[in-house]
Amino acid sequence: MSDFTAVEQTELQRLKAVANDYVQLMKPGILTLLLVTTLGAMLIAEAGVPSFWTVLVTLIGGTLTAGGANTINCWYDRDIDAKMHRTKSRGTVTGTIKPAAALAFGVGITVIGFLMLGVFVNWLAAVLALIGNLYYVFIYTMWLKRTSPHNIVIGGAAGAVPPLVGWAAVTGTLAPPAWILFAIIFYWTPPHFWALALLKQGEYGRVNVPMLPVVSGDEETRKQIMLYTLLLTAVTLLMVPFGMGWIFFAGAAALCGWFLILAWRLLVDPSKARARQTFFYSIWFLAGIFAVMVADRLILG
């Protein structure tokens, strides 16, 4: 009896490990930020709290469609993932998940997420989520990532879609503030990812992915980080004429101001430590910007 129990426990542990490998293919760290921007857009558009059902289904459907795109990305990039330290433990690299199974999983959860959004929320939100999925897979992953140093700039549009999905889920339409939210993430993506690329450029170089530091060097990358941080600040403050009040302005000024300081320090006094600080701050910046927008909307109306 004890031997049988031990076998069962071993099998259960194996199944948990495989399930975790599938979850990791969805890139939960990235999904967390996407969910923050989706929920933030819903709360801003509603000027209050949407129904629990709408929020729940939108977040689940958005997770599945975005997670499906991330999974297909892992399936397609398994050859270069095997040569990069931060990706070599993915199930598509280690062999715990077969390529066909990974592709089927990615496509399957994409379809489920799309149908959930369409049937239970609205078809505009569903179509927007699917556009983001297809853009990430075909435009970024299969085309730009391995061919252009502008891969992150153009491909970043895929990561900027979730606020549109959240806005459409609540209103059934897309208003100008929704597109500003889209632009905030679009202009946030280059400084965020290029700061990481400064830390990982050796890995990108080994697999011939033309990230900006590999193609144009560190100095040009730091200049571009500064430029896009300035553009990000300008775009972020555009929310003020579209209904945001003093809570947002004060919070955005502080958050953008510190981002500009970090970008400037990285430009004039470059180091891996400053690149790392800029990268990690960029994550908190995006969450913070949406948090102050939601606070402004809920408190000031």
Three-state DSSP at 147 gives: coil
- Amino acid identity for residue 131 in this structure: I
Residues 137, 180, single domain; the answer is no
The answer to whether residues 277 and 191 belong to one domain is yes
Burial bucket for residue 39 (CB in 10 Å: 0-12, 13-18, 19+): buried
Query: Are 181 and 248 members of one domain?
Result: yes
CATH number at residue 230: 1.20.120
Boundaries of domain holding 124? 1-151
Question: Where is 28: in which H helix or E strand?
Answer: helix 28-46
Q: What is the pLDDT of residue 71?
A: 98
As a whole number of angstroms, the distance between CA 287 and CA 291 comes to: 6
Residue 275 lies in a domain: yes
> In the 8-state DSSP scheme, what is residue 160?
G
Q: 6 and 120 share a domain? A: yes
* Domain-located, residue 126: yes
- In a domain, residue 137? The reply is yes
Q: 108 with 222, same domain?
A: no
Q: Identify the band that residue 1 occupies on the pLDDT scale cut at 50, 70 and 90.
A: very low
> 263 and 182 share a domain?
yes
In a domain, 3, yes or no: yes
State mean pLDDT over 273-288.
Answer: 96
Closest CA to 153 of 221, 99, 89, 105: 221
Q: Decide: helix, strand or coil at residue 210.
A: coil
Residue 162 belongs to some domain of the structure: no
DSSP conformation class of 121:
T
Tell me the C-alpha distance between 22 and 28, whole Å. 10
Q: Could you tell me if 117 and 184 lie in one domain?
A: no
Same domain as 138, residue 189: no
Whether residues 110 and 69 share a domain: the answer is yes
* Domain final residue pick, 151, 166, 188: 151
Domain stops at, among 87, 119, 151:
151
Alpha helices in 77-122 (DSSP H): 78-81, 91-94, 99-120
Asked if residue 164 belongs to a domain, the reply is no
Mean pLDDT of 98-120: 98
Based on the domain organization, do 147 and 1 belong to the same domain? yes
For the chain, the average pLDDT equals: 94
pLDDT in tens, 17-58: 889 999 999 999 999 999 999 999 999 998 778 999 999 999
Taking the alpha carbons at both ends of the chain, their separation in whole angstroms is: 64
Query: Given pLDDT bands bounded at 50, 70 and 90, which one contains residue 3?
Result: low
Report helix, strand or coil for 172.
Answer: coil
Whether residue 118 is contained in a domain is answered as yes
Instruction: Tell me the mean pLDDT in the region 204-217.
Output: 91
109-114: average pLDDT: 98
In a domain, residue 166? The reply is no
pLDDT of residue 130: 98
CA–CA separation, 95 and 79 (whole Å): 12
Give the span between the Cα atoms of 284 and 261, in whole angstroms: 15
The number of folded domains in the chain is 2
Residues 142, 1, single domain; the answer is yes
- What is the pTM for the complete model shown? 0.93
pLDDT in tens, 117-169: 999 999 999 999 999 999 999 999 999 999 999 899 988 899 999 999 999 99
User: Are residues 142 and 3 part of one domain?
Assistant: yes
